[in-house]
Structure 1
Amino acid sequence: MNKVFLGIVIAGLPLSVAGTLLHWSSTILFVVYCVTIIALASFMGRATESLAIVTGPRIGGLLNATFGNAVELIIAIFALKEGLIGVVLASLTGSVLGNLLLVAGLSFFIGGLKFKRQVFNVYDARHNSGLLIFAVIVAFVIPEIFSMSLNEERTMTFSIGISIILILLYLAALFFKLVTHRGVYQAGTKGASHTEEETPEWGKGKAIGVLALSTLAVAYVSENLVHTFEAVGDTFGWSELFIGVIIVAIVGNAAEHASAIIMAVKNKMDVAVEIAIGSTLQVAMFVAPVLVLVSLFFPVSMPLVFTIPELVTMVSAVLLMVVISNDGESNWFEGAILLAAYLIIGIGFYLL
């Protein structure tokens, strides 16, 4: 599979450049760009997995989520530059739904087919549950409610204030987890068979180099991908909402999808859960606020105000994930529940 992705990158990057210069069909370019980004994301996933072996599950999961979200952040910034506010907000929604329902669901399901019962750190799960409820239900729903009574300028001011608070709290959460309370809550992971020694695929230097080069390549391809959204949406009858929630989110989070499933198959559920939930928290508490602040430098600013379907589906995903993960255990049936929820929501956004 690694050779396949390498072949796709070797072919995809020149095709992306040629197609852009020769003005190929938007549909063909859309497919080439998406496949190339997914292949590049696989290299980002392998590099962060190598770093995770050296740094441990928490930092490894954080690294994977960070570089995985870097792809989406790059795509979103170029979309903001084009004034595609709806696509950006939809892609943020898609990230939350994709990580909590699709990534976690596939991890629980596929891992559960191999192991009847998988466990992960119950204290981390409960800590993350509180943050999820705050980040999505409090920080996303409240701006929507207040925006009904505020004018556009005040809504944007409110969004800026919330964004700054979210970023500061996210940094405080990292400081809490990685510094002041690192190693304090270790119970709850008994039974997980990941005490064996592992050798990273790549050394630290090579892994960081691959991450840097992959990120640069993704930046180039992503900028061109954004220009195909409108034409592809018209061709297939896809709404701006569907493109953002499903297509951009899946492409942008390809690295996390692959890595979380691989970790679950290896019964490393601490890493798999950290990738799925940690990535969601990073999107809600860092990526989204950063995009709000970045949008101030473009002609059209982006308030932190989602549509009602986006909010309802995100809140539903958070509550479902909190209930399922709070016991620190998973199995294939819980994965099936999460996947079923994602399919139902996906059909709804397609029809919408």
Structure 2
Amino acid sequence: MANKIFMIMTFAGVPLSIIGSLLHWPSTIMFGIYCLTIIALASYMGRATESLAIIAGPRIGGLLNATFGNAVELIISIFALKEGLTGVVLASLTGSVLGNLLLVAGLSFFIGGLKFKRQTFSVYDARHNSGLLVFAILVAFVIPEVFSMKMDMTETISLSVGISLILIALYLAALFFKLVTHRGVYQKENGEAEEHEEPEWSKKRAIFTLALATLAVAYVSENLVHTFETVAESFGWTELFIGIIIVAIVGNAAEHASAIIFSWKNKMDIAVEIAIGSTLQIAMFVAPVLVLVSLLFNEAMPLVFSLPELVAMSSAVLLIVILSNDGESNWFEGLTLLAAYIIMGIGFFLL
């Protein structure tokens, strides 16, 4: 049923997005159409990556899901940078970190926990990811904020570029560590045999669908960016709220749906890999790439977040590290993460 709804939304949303942009329909109407279309396209991306996850395994499947899910946000952010909306981009990066660690992981723990009293995932992967999260958020994001207080903009940009290159190098090294040198070294102890599951789509169809959906999202995203200012004025929203809540939720719709589906099927390894792996990719790859890409435009983007953004991200990291380091989850832990997300959402709305 849900697949039919998303199919209708896609085949209606894409033509309406094209027609509306050509005929210059009101921005508030087009904002809604663009958001719903991106979410519908994201559902196809989610189904395709689920098929690839069954074929390639949870780690590679989770990585593919995170990569193509984050591709949506990367595309939106590049167009926003082109328009000089660096505040929206930094806010959307913050929103992605909070959304993945608190909303996606929270919903996965909560919804999966309603069906299963105790769910487990690889404690080794959880601890490995925890170290990278602390490094990326509490070190690499905090340092530019602290040092920029004594620097001018040129020096801050130089510092941001240097940190970005280090983050990208370490992220690639982390992938090499997990997928090559230490692949299979740390296995979750589980006596139960995993049931064989047939993928919904073949490998070729899944990759083709991913590529096509990403191209469609790129077109819709470019038009979505142009509606931000008008929508903000109409609803009284700040750029910060649009970036942290709206863009982040729309941009990460594929991961949201997939992680929840996997947790309901008790496949917590891939659900956690999507939520935390996506956060690491945002912090250690997408954000640094956007800093480097911004050098091509009129206004370069420093890797400097506001104090509320840093405090919110640091709090989210500490909370998820404490709750996930034992390799187990339940519905109450999920509810705790969701409560934290709602509190932060209210704060950013009123800020």
Whether TM exceeds 0.5 here: the answer is yes
Counterpart code for 2:281: Q
The equivalent residue for 2:333 is: 334
By how many angstroms is 1:64 displaced? 0.3
Q: Distance in 1 between matches of 2:179 and 2:203?
A: 20
Partner of 1:257: 256
| 2:32 aligned partner, one-letter code | V
Distance in 2 (alpha carbons) for counterparts of 1:62 and 1:208: 14
Residues 62 and 273 in structure 2, CA contact (< 8 A), matched pair in contact too: yes
SS at match of 1:297: coil
Task: Indicate the residue corresponding to 1:55 in structure 2.
Answer: 56
CA contact (8 A) 1:48 1:63 kept: yes
SS of the residue 2:187 aligns to: coil
Please say if 1:285 is aligned against 2:281.
Answer: no
Which residues of 2 match residues 310-329 of structure 1 at below 5 A? 310-329=309-328
Residues 164-210 of structure 1: per-residue CA shift (max 9 Å, x gap) = 0000000000000000000000034x27x670001000000000000
Q: Which deviates the most, 15-24 or 281-290?
A: 15-24
Aligned residue identity for 2:120: V
Which secondary structure state, in structure 1, belongs to the residue aligned with residue 295 of structure 2?
A: helix
> What is the CA–CA distance in structure 2 between the aligned matches of 1:245 and 1:187, rounded to whole Å?
35
Paired residue type of 1:209: F
Partner of 1:66: 67
Contact 1:194 1:268 in 2 (8 A): no
Alignment correspondent of 2:32? 31
The equivalent of 2:177 in structure 1 is: 176
Q: Name 1:207's counterpart in structure 2.
A: 206
Distance 1:333 1:60, change over 3 A: same
Q: Which amino acid aligns with 2:237?
A: W
Cα distance between partner residues in 1 of 2:188 and 2:57:
16
Q: Give 1:101 deviation, angstroms.
A: 0.1
Determine the C-alpha separation between the residues in 2 that align with 1:213 and 1:60: 18
Over the aligned positions, Cα root-mean-square deviation in angstroms equals 0.8
Question: What aligned pairs does 1:186-265 form with structure 2 within 5 A after superposition?
Answer: 186-188=187-189, 190=190, 195-265=194-264
Q: Secondary structure at the match of 2:200?
A: coil
1:297 aligns to 2:296 (yes or no): yes
AA aligned opposite 1:116: K
Question: In structure 2, what is the Cα distance between the partners aligned to 1:227 and 1:185?
Answer: 47
For residues 208 and 123 of structure 1, the distance between their equivalents in structure 2, rounded to whole angstroms, comes to: 30
Long gaps (5+) in structure 1: none
Counterpart Cα distance in 2 of 1:116 and 1:58: 24
- Indicate conservation of the 8 Å contact 2:121/2:188, yes or no: no
Check conservation: 2:140, 2:163, Cα contact below 8 A: yes
3-state SS, counterpart of residue 151 of structure 2: coil
- Asked if structure 2 preserves the Cα contact closer than 8 Å seen for 1:108 and 1:334, the reply is yes
What's 1:103 paired with?
104
Are the equivalent residues in 2 in contact too, given 1:37–1:251 (CA < 8 A)? yes
Match of 2:129 in 1: 128
Equivalent position of 1:41 in the other structure: 42
Structure 2 unaligned spans of 5+: none
Contact between 1:261 and 1:272, CA under 8 Å: does it hold in 2? Answer: yes
**Deviation of 1:288 (Å):** 0.1
Q: Which letter does structure 2 place at the counterpart of 1:340?
A: A
Equivalent residue for 2:114?
113
AA matched with 2:129: N
Quote the residue 1:141 is aligned against. 142
Instruction: List structure 1 runs of 4+ shifted beyond 2 angstroms.
Output: none
Aligned-partner Cα distance in 1 for 2:187–2:32: 44
Alpha-carbon deviations, 1:284-343, whole Å to 9, x = none?
000000000000000000000000000000000000000000000000000000000000
- Deviations along 1:235-276, one digit per CA (max 9) or x if unpaired, are 111000000000000000000000000000000000000000
